[in-house]
């Protein structure tokens, strides 16, 4: 007695399956010129266990499932499983003697199956005729939502992610346990890594989740690997599925409420330096202390990992800048890491307006100062990289 005779109770159930290749192949999308009338033959679409549909002409407009299996080349046809793909993507398991009304363009799956495969998804047991199933079919069979990732559980190695098009050999030893995990998307918000269950996030929501106050006058930049950082607003939607998304960087905007004294401009900078500092919203001033010229940026935001969130950053500007190099940078208060690790090469000191600044000795290995290309802008790029490196970003 063959497989289908032993499992008659299986013939009444409907197996709900969806796969993208089925959904994209609607009856309207077919070349209807290839469908002839019933007397001359009818063209249907048939797929085997590989789920690749091909046209097949049958001579009978009311065939049985057994006849479809035979026409599809299943040998012996009595051992074949035949399923009809409905317009909504579901599939009906057909009895061998079930007679069908065929108009042309219908889709069927027919393949040999001499057993039922048992598998578990999230602890629930499921049955599937035959030994092969796609990831999309398995996802639909178990009702796994689109916002979850499906994994094949492994004992001896890392779990394997199952894609929609993955063809799973259920007869292979160890192919029986699957789990679904809610998909998480990560974003670095100024050193704070936050997770989201959707691939898109509004910048305002990202700041709130990272515990930054969005009502403060932030200037916000989105950093994408290989691209210049781009300014965004609180209402900007960030697509986290975009390759190279790195982080959101926050900078305080200059706000004059009439109470604080105007920043000092004791000496002038290059025009491009001034344009940059104003464009990114930094509060800055230039002062001279004991014949040393200083550019001071107030409340410069630091990446997570330091004991303070902001610091005053000072650059000593040589009298013959930009021909002479800007060397390292200085910080007040002195910076320390939250994990207690000592920061190397921070032996420089300076006093500005009676406040002690501790200097960081930093330079670009193999990249000597170029007066035609280097300036305050490139020095702040070095500062940002040095801070991020020590913070472990």
Q: What is the 3-state secondary structure (H, E, C) of 234-270?
A: CCCEEECCCCCEEEEEEEECCCCCCCCCCCCECCCCC
Query: Comparing 102-106, 173-177, 286-290, 389-393, which segment has the lowest mean pLDDT?
Result: 173-177
Q: What percentage of the chain exceeds 70 in pLDDT? A: 84
Most confident of 180-194, 218-232, 334-348: 334-348
Strand duo 329-332 + 348-352: pairing: unpaired
**225-252 burial string, b = 16+ CB within 10 Å, else e?**
eeeebeebeeebebebeeeebebbbbbb
Average pLDDT over residues 119-142: 82
Q: Hey, which residues does 14 pair with through a beta bridge?
A: 92
> Taken in order 72, 75, 78, 83, is the CA torsion positive or negative?
negative
For residues 386 and 363, give the distance between their C-alpha atoms in angstroms, rounded to a whole number: 9
Unique residue bearing structure tokens 């007040």: 332
Q: How confident is the model at residue 175 (pLDDT cuts 50, 70, 90)?
A: low
For residue 295, is pLDDT > 90?
Answer: yes
Is 189 in contact with 248 (CB distance < 8 Å)? yes
What residues contact 93, with CB distance under 8 A and at least 6 apart? 10, 11, 13, 14, 15, 81, 82, 83, 129
Average pLDDT over residues 98-124: 86
Cα–Cα distances in Å, from 231 out to 253, 279, 387? Answer: 13, 10, 21
DSSP code, position 79: G
For residue 18, is pLDDT > 60?
Answer: no
Within 10 angstroms of residue 147's Cβ, the number of other Cβ atoms is 12
Average pLDDT over residues 184-199: 84
For residue 330, is pLDDT > 90?
Answer: yes
pLDDT at 357: 93
Comparing C-alpha atoms, which of 190, 69, 58, 200 is closest to residue 129? 69
pLDDT at 256: 45
DSSP code, position 22: H
For residues 389 and 393, give the distance between their C-alpha atoms in angstroms, rounded to a whole number: 6
For residue 288, is pLDDT > 50?
Answer: yes
pTM for this predicted structure: 0.41
* Sheet with 192-196, side-by-side order of all strands: 192-196, 185-189, 245-252, 218-224, 230-232
For residues 67 and 70, give the distance between their C-alpha atoms in angstroms, rounded to a whole number: 5
For residue 257, is pLDDT > 80?
Answer: no
Unique residue bearing structure tokens 């190695």: 157
């Amino acid at each position: 007695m063959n497989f289908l005779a032993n499992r008659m109770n299986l013939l009444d159930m409907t197996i709900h399956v969806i796969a993208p290749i089925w959904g994209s192949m609607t009856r309207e999308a077919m070349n209807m010129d290839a469908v002839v009338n019933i007397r001359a033959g009818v063209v249907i679409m048939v797929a085997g266990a590989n789920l690749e549909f091909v046209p097949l002409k049958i001579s009978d407009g009311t065939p049985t499932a057994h006849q479809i299996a035979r026409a599809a080349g299943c040998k012996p046809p009595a051992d074949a499983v035949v399923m009809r793909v409905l317009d909504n993507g579901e599939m009906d398991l057909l009895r061998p003697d079930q007679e069908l009304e065929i108009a042309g363009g219908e889709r069927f799956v027919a393949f040999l199956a001499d057993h039922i495969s048992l598998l578990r998804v999230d602890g629930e047991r499921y049955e599937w005729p035959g030994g092969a199933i796609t990831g999309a079919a398995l996802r639909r069979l178990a009702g796994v939502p689109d916002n979850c990732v499906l994994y094949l559980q492994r004992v001896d190695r890392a779990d394997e992610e199952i894609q929609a098009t993955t063809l799973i050999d259920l007869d292979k030893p160890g192919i029986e346990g699957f789990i679904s995990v809610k998909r998480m998307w990560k974003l670095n918000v100024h050193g704070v890594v936050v997770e989201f269950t959707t691939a898109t996030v509004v910048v305002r929501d990202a700041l709130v989740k990272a515990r930054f106050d969005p009502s403060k006058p932030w200037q916000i930049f989105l950093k994408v690997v290989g691209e210049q950082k781009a300014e965004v607003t609180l209402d900007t939607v960030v697509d986290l599925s975009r390759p190279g998304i790195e982080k959101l960087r926050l900078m305080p905007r200059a706000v004059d409420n009439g109470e604080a004294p105007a920043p000092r401009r004791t000496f002038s900078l290059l025009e491009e330096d001034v344009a940059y500092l104003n464009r990114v919203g930094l509060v800055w001033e230039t002062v001279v202390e004991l014949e040393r010229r200083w550019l001071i940026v107030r409340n410069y935001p630091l990446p997570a990992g330091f004991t303070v969130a902001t610091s005053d950053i000072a650059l000593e500007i040589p009298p013959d800048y930009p021909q002479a190099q800007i060397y390292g940078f200085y910080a007040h208060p002195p910076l320390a890491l939250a994990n207690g690790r000592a920061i190397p090469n921070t032996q420089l000191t300076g006093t500005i307006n009676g406040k002690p600044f501790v200097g960081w000795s930093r330079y670009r290995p193999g990249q000597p100062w170029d007066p035609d290309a280097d300036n305050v802008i490139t020095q702040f790029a070095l500062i940002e990289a040095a801070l991020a490196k020590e913070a472990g970003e």
